[in-house]
Structure 1
């Protein structure tokens, strides 16, 4: 079975339902064990770059009695993304585990796994739990999460300083993690917001949008009006995380 997908540290512990009888039972069967849901990374996207481990929590919850004793957990993703693990349950009510993912193979790993670009997107969680009275309950698609490629943005406004009313050029570049080559590459054809924060303010507002070219580059020209900070803001996509550039300050002189 392929395990190209996620490196897992420990397993998930579930909650039990009430009044179970021996044998397998569906997760939502009346009177049987109940596996309610799985929450991954506290409801946030899991965003992975090219070199560093990213560790995130997974909490699975349910209710009732008898207590769970053992659980098998599967994470399933696009294009064969898969990993499974199991563990003895630590609690009859709830437990949180932590999963670790990385784009690059871990040196000397006994069971090498990594991520491929095609595996970015929506992942789901399945769980098979055993209870203390011998009942088993299987919960398919008990949770889901987005596994995304990390993005980076730069911004540069010039000239600095600039005369009021003169032309100001703001450039930048949007790149995202390539899990196949372990590098960041240009993200073409993406709409990115140009934002401005006046000197003395803490709030950015969007003043224009631009689309990245074939190498992820951005370019826009406008008239300089007041002192402040310029940055690019990318909202992200279904497969790529959001990114904001650091603000670049421009002194506008009368």
Structure 2
């Protein structure tokens, strides 16, 4: 609402002026044989941004035209709730001796502390671009590719007893937090699901023992039978808006022979 009202008012004002001062024009469209071959943001990875973090991500566009590619400009990155990021100058390098295909690269700065991003703008983003060929052909797309921009999550305060008696119980705890872009801090991720996993001593396979949800303080706690020595960890898979998180490993030595706690 904070941006929608401002943007809607601005659009209405600009539209009113356009009716009076500027004749209607047809929207620009693609023409000729220019082809978009690929688009990637940050190498195709999810862009993960912490509470007080600034990152530079690479935007790469590969395109083709029989006359060669002159430029890729402008390029815009757009997200939920009117979010937008500016991509700097794209530098194009021909690929192959005939020069018909080029790879163009530019950079965008993603900052949580500049009041340019808010919590409700995490999620699915898209790339808007225009490609110009040397012979005047062009290619336009309002949604050339998609990528994810997520708030980082963190599992801290992980704890478990160093030793336990066979047949007893092991209580494993941690706290799940995520980045708050609005206030540049970390906040509890209340209601998020996390899984307690176990790997027996000498083994290399993790088994999920149980799942639980974080409480109002982000706290996770589960008690499981102490049956054999091994290592525990917490895993939170994240969601469309938040990254996954993994706790530090928590080794527990069990006195006396036993079986896997998941058996």
Which residue in the other structure is 1:8 paired with? none
Residues matched between the structures, number: 222
The gaps in structure 2 that reach 5 residues or longer are: 4-27, 95-101, 257-263
- Which structure 2 residues correspond to residues 192-207 of structure 1 after superposition, within 5 A? 192-207=194-209
TM-score by length of 1: 0.81
Could you tell me whether the CA contact under 8 Å between 1:68 and 1:89 is conserved in 2?
no
Greater radius of gyration (CA): 2
Which residue in the other structure is 1:157 paired with? 160
Q: By how many angstroms is 1:57 displaced? A: 2.4
Which residue in the other structure is 1:34 paired with? 35
Alpha carbons of structure 1 residues 62 and 219: separation in structure 2 relative to 1, 3 Å = same
State the alpha-carbon separation in 2 of the partners of residues 163 and 169 from structure 1. Answer: 12
State the alpha-carbon separation in 2 of the partners of residues 98 and 231 from structure 1. Answer: 37
- Which structure 2 residues correspond to residues 184-223 of structure 1 after superposition, within 5 A? 184-223=186-225
Alpha carbons of structure 1 residues 199 and 45: separation in structure 2 relative to 1, 3 Å = same
Of 92, 101, 113, the residue aligned with 1:104 is 113
Instruction: Kindly provide the CA deviation profile for residues 81-132 of structure 1, in whole angstroms up to 9, marking residues without a partner as x.
Output: 0123453642241123333312112xxxxxxx53110110000001012222
Alpha carbons of structure 1 residues 45 and 75: separation in structure 2 relative to 1, 3 Å = same
Which residue in the other structure is 2:76 paired with? 74
Could you tell me whether the CA contact under 8 Å between 2:63 and 2:69 is conserved in 1?
no
Higher RCO (CA < 8 A, seq sep 6+): 1
State the alpha-carbon separation in 1 of the partners of residues 200 and 107 from structure 2. Answer: 41
Which residue in the other structure is 2:18 paired with? none
Instruction: Kindly provide the CA deviation profile for residues 126-164 of structure 1, in whole angstroms up to 9, marking residues without a partner as x.
Output: 101222233332122111101000000132112x21111
State the alpha-carbon separation in 1 of the partners of residues 221 and 103 from structure 2. Answer: 51
Could you tell me whether the CA contact under 8 Å between 1:77 and 1:124 is conserved in 2?
yes
Which residue in the other structure is 1:21 paired with? none
State the alpha-carbon separation in 2 of the partners of residues 88 and 59 from structure 1. Answer: 8
- Which structure 2 residues correspond to residues 1-254 of structure 1 after superposition, within 5 A? 25-26=29-30, 31-70=32-71, 71-85=73-87, 87=89, 89-92=91-94, 93-105=102-114, 114-154=116-156, 155-158=158-161, 160-254=162-256
TM-score by length of 2: 0.78
Could you tell me whether the CA contact under 8 Å between 2:155 and 2:177 is conserved in 1?
yes
Could you tell me whether the CA contact under 8 Å between 1:73 and 1:125 is conserved in 2?
yes
State the alpha-carbon separation in 1 of the partners of residues 224 and 58 from structure 2. Answer: 45
Q: By how many angstroms is 1:188 displaced? A: 0.8
State the alpha-carbon separation in 2 of the partners of residues 165 and 124 from structure 1. Answer: 54
State the alpha-carbon separation in 1 of the partners of residues 175 and 90 from structure 2. Answer: 48
Q: CA RMSD in A?
A: 2.0
Q: By how many angstroms is 1:34 displaced? A: 1.4
